Amino acid sequence: MTDLIKFWAVVPAAGVGKRMNADRPKQYLELAGKTVIEHTLLRLLGAEVFDAVAVAISEEDPYWPDLEVSENEKIVTAPGGKERADSVLSALKSIRVVASDNDWVLVHDAARPCVTATDIHFLINSLLNDEVGGILALSSHDTLKNVQGISIIGTLDRRRIWRALTPQMFRYGLLKSALEAAEGNPAITDEASALELQGLQPKIVEGRPDNIKITRPEDLALAQFYMEQQND
Ligand code: CTP
Ligand code: MG
């Protein structure tokens, strides 16, 4: 008998949003009538593929319980960690009783509220038969320079450089063990890097440019603009 493969979403949402310089973590800022994290979670739920969405929330977070979405039956929470990778591992552990090693996990930043069902389905369909898994990514339109101090010491081959987005999609067992092996390593800034450290080669899947991460104050207006343009 073959087990039915399930899909789980993991959302790290325990950051403080230092670069945003606001009065609260950026995931709780308002954007088009809802908080950023509500948009993100409603879009993941709206993709209708996930058995559950595991969200890592800081233990000092007073905002989360006030959101209606926190009571959604498909949403479970886990304590956030010191770094993003710690929060992701904590969320993975919170579903260990229900998830199987072969299930797929899509890790998606709470701070990317413009993600579309199209992007989620395209990522899943592209990687469903892949051994390792992979990530949504964008190529760079600008010429990229290698710089020391303020001096250019070379030009990078743009065709070989991609920007890593989320969701990032890996098997539950592989992702959990890769993150455990990399615990405390500051070079692990996304899930793919934890797998790369294991000698594996995750794939890239070209994502949509509207799937931006809210990082700095000007990104909120840009996210609002993209949302107004989206009709899927
Ligand atoms: N994140 C997390 N736990 C941490 C740090 C980050 O769950 N210890 C989450 C953030 O909430 C965000 C995602 O990881 O949804 C991407 O991180 P980033 O954009 O860097 O958010 P912050 O760390 O909050 O922002 P900053 O780096 O500006 O402080
Ligand atoms: Mg950060």
Question: Can you give the CATH number for the domain in which 225 is found?
Answer: 3.90.550.10
* pLDDT at residue 28, rounded to an integer: 98
Among all ligands shown, which has an atom nearest to the Cα of 219? 1
Q: Are strands 34-35 and 75-79 parallel, antiparallel or unpaired?
A: unpaired
Angstrom distance (rounded) from CA 66 to CA 70: 8
Write the DSSP assignment of 166-232 as a string of letters.
EEEEEEHHHHHHHHHHTTT-TT--SHHHHHHTTT---EEEE--TT-----STHHHHHHHHHHHH---
Question: Which residues have C-beta atoms less than 6 Å from ligand 1?
Answer: 12-19, 27, 56, 80-84, 87, 109-111, 213, 215
Containing structural domain, residue 226:
2-230
Q: How remote is the CA of residue 96 from the centroid of ligand 1, in Å? A: 23
CB–CB of 79/90 below 8 Å? yes
Going by alpha carbons, the residue nearest to atom 13 of ligand 1 is 109
Q: Which atom of ligand 1 is nearest to 56's Cα?
A: 7
Distances in whole angstroms, Cα of residue 50 to Cα of each of 14, 40, 117, 144, 232: 21, 14, 12, 37, 18
Domains contained in the chain, number: 1
Low-confidence ranges of the chain (pLDDT < 50): 1
Q: Which ligand 1 atom sits nearest the alpha carbon of residue 215?
A: 19
Residue nearest to atom 8 of ligand 1 (CA): 83
| pTM attached to this predicted model | 0.97
- Non-local CB neighbours of 151 within 8 Å, separated by 6+ positions: none
Task: State which of 10, 43, 59, 84 you would mutate to test the pocket of ligand 1, scoring each by most atoms of that ligand within 8 A of its C-beta.
Answer: 84
Minimum-distance ligand to the CA of 87?
Answer: 1
